[in-house]
C-alpha cells in the first residue's frame, strides 16, 4: 500500500487562530502518525485494501460508496434515509485547492450521473469512472483530513441533542475513549461509518444507530482497556438493535458479521497488539 503522508490535523476546539463557537471548548489534537494509521485502518475496513473499491456500489444499497470511508453519493434527483457525504468531500477538496475534474465538481452538486447500480456497472470501465478512482486514490490523505473534520464537529453537535445531565455523561464517555491509547480510531471510524446519530431520518422505529446512541448505551468508564471494550460492546448492541428494527426487505442481518468484525477492531487486544 502506498505511503500516506498527513499534515497535522486538529480535531475539535482550540486549534485555529479564531475561536470556533460550535466547539463548546472541547478539544484534542490528533498527531500525524495516529491519523495516518487510522486512515489505513478505515481504508482496509471499507475496501479490504482493494483500490477498485474506492468507487463502489453495493447490490444491497441505493447509493454509491466512494473513497476510503465509502462516502455516500445518491443518484441525481434521489435523496435517501442516510446522510450523503461525498458532495461535501468534493467541496473540501476544492477548498484546499485540490484539482477536481469538472464533471465531478458539477455532478457533486446535482447527484451521481448513474441512476442505478447496473448503469454504473455497465460504465465501470469508462474514462469517467477511471478518472474518479484516480482522484480518490491520490487524495487518501485529504479524505482522512475530511473525516477528522467530521469528528471535530461531532461532539458539540451530539451534545446539543441531549439534556444538560446527559451532556456531561456523553462528554465524559467520549473523553475516556479519546484519552485511551489508540482510542481516537474507534471514535473517528464509527462516526464516519454510522454517523453522529443526530439526523432524525436516520432512525428505525424511532431509534438511531450513530455515535451518540453508542455513547448513550455505554456505562460510565475511565480511560483504558475497559473503555475500548465497553465502546465496542455498545456499538455491537446498537447495530444489532438497528437490524432488529430495520424493514425485513432490507435484509440487514446479512451485514451483521461484517459489522461485528468492525466493532471488534475497536477492542484493546486488536488495537494494542
- pLDDT at 76 > cutoff 70: yes
Domain boundaries, the chain: 1-160, 163-273
**Three cell numbers, residue 76:** 441525481
Q: What is the band of 29 on the pLDDT scale with cuts at 50, 70, 90?
A: low
DSSP string, 66-118: ETTTTEEEPBTT---SSPP-HHHHHHHHHHTT----HHHHHHHHH-BS-SSHH
pLDDT at 222: 98
Q: Please name the residue that has the C-alpha cell 468484525.
A: 261
Ranges 23-37, 139-153, 191-205: which has the least confidence: 23-37
Q: What is the band of 32 on the pLDDT scale with cuts at 50, 70, 90?
A: low
pLDDT at 3: 38
From CA 184, how far away is CA 10, in angstroms rounded? 12
| Residues 6+ positions from 66 with CB-CB distance below 8 Å | 54, 55, 56, 73, 86, 89, 132, 136
From CA 221, how far away is CA 173, in angstroms rounded? 6
Angle (deg, nearest 10), helices 102-110 and 127-138: 90
- pLDDT at 8 > cutoff 90: no
Q: Please name the residue that has the C-alpha cell 500516506.
A: 4
Q: In the predicted model, what is the mean pLDDT of residues 157-175?
A: 95
Amino acid at each position: 500500500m502506498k505511503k500516506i503522508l498527513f499534515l497535522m490535523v486538529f480535531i475539535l476546539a482550540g486549534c485555529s487562530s479564531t475561536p470556533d463557537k460550535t466547539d463548546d471548548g472541547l478539544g484534542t489534537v490528533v498527531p500525524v502518525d495516529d491519523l495516518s494509521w487510522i486512515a489505513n485502518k478505515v481504508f482496509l475496513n471499507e475496501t479490504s485494501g482493494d483500490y477498485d473499491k474506492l468507487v463502489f456500489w453495493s447490490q444491497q444499497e441505493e447509493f454509491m460508496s466512494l473513497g476510503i470511508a465509502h462516502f455516500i453519493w445518491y443518484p441525481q434527483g434521489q435523496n435517501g434515509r442516510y446522510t450523503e457525504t461525498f458532495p461535501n468531500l468534493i467541496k473540501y477538496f476544492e477548498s484546499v485547492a485540490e484539482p477536481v475534474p469538472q464533471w465531478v465538481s458539477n455532478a457533486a452538486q446535482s447527484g451521481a450521473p448513474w441512476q442505478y447500480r447496473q448503469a454504473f456497472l455497465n460504465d465501470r470501465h469508462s474514462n469517467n469512472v477511471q478518472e474518479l478512482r484516480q482522484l480518490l486514490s491520490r487524495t487518501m490523505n485529504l479524505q482522512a483530513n475530511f473525516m477528522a473534520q467530521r469528528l471535530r464537529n461531532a461532539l458539540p453537535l451530539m451534545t446539543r441533542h441531549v439534556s444538560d445531565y446527559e451532556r456531561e455523561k456523553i462528554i465524559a464517555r467520549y473523553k475516556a475513549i479519546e484519552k485511551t491509547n489508540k482510542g481516537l480510531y474507534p471514535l473517528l471510524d464509527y462516526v464516519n461509518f454510522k454517523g453522529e446519530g443526530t439526523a432524525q431520518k436516520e432512525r428505525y422505529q424511532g431509534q438511531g444507530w450513530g455515535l451518540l446512541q453508542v455513547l448513550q448505551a455505554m456505562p460510565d468508564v475511565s480511560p483504558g482497556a475497559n473503555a475500548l471494550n465497553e465502546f465496542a460492546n455498545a456499538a455491537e448492541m446498537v447495530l444489532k438493535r438497528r437490524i432488529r428494527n430495520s424493514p425485513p426487505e432490507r435484509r440487514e442481518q446479512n451485514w451483521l458479521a461484517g459489522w461485528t468484525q468492525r466493532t471488534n477492531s475497536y477492542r484493546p487486544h486488536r488495537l494494542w497488539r
